[in-house]
């Protein structure tokens, strides 16, 4: 199994729920965590929680429905961390299309 300690994980949708849980688990294994969420406060809260536990963590705001915003996030991760080793696309996107007839 590949060693993950010291590597970078980008958790999109990491500001709560399953994404937060993934961030906590990977931080517990020694990964550097970038918490990205459409809700800046949520991302910052989780990143602060991780940092308080001794993990290296940062928060980013991103709207996954905006391709340019996602590309800019990727560029920042590459500039700051040299890349992303683990990507969790956990953001929930709800459309307004009827499901039934």
- Report the pLDDT averaged over residues 60-79: 95
Decide if pLDDT at 43 tops 70.
Answer: yes
Mean pLDDT of the chain: 92
Question: How many residues in the chain?
Answer: 101
**What is the edge-to-edge ordering of all strands in the sheet holding 8-12?**
57-61, 32-37, 8-12, 86-89
The residue among 94 and 78 whose pLDDT is bigger is: 78
The domains of the chain are located at: 8-89
With bands split at pLDDT 50, 70 and 90, how would you rate the model's confidence at 1?
A: very low
Unique residue bearing structure tokens 């905006």: 66
- Report the pLDDT averaged over residues 62-85: 95
With bands split at pLDDT 50, 70 and 90, how would you rate the model's confidence at 93?
A: low
Tokens of 20: 């937060």
| Closest-CA residue to 81 (of 29, 31, 22) | 31
User: Phi and psi (nearest 5°) for 60?
Assistant: -135, 145
CATH number of 8-89: 3.40.50.720
């Amino acid at each position: 199994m590949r060693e993950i300690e010291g590597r970078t994980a980008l958790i999109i949708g990491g500001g709560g729920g399953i994404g937060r849980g993934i961030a906590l688990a990977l931080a517990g294994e020694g990964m550097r965590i970038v918490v990205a969420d459409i809700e800046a406060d949520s991302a910052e809260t989780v990143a602060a929680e991780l940092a308080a536990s001794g993990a290296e963590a940062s928060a980013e705001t991103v709207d996954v429905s905006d391709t340019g915003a996602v590309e800019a996030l990727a560029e920042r991760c590459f500039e700051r961390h040299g890349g992303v080793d683990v990507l969790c696309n956990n953001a929930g996107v709800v459309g307004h299309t009827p499901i039934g007839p």
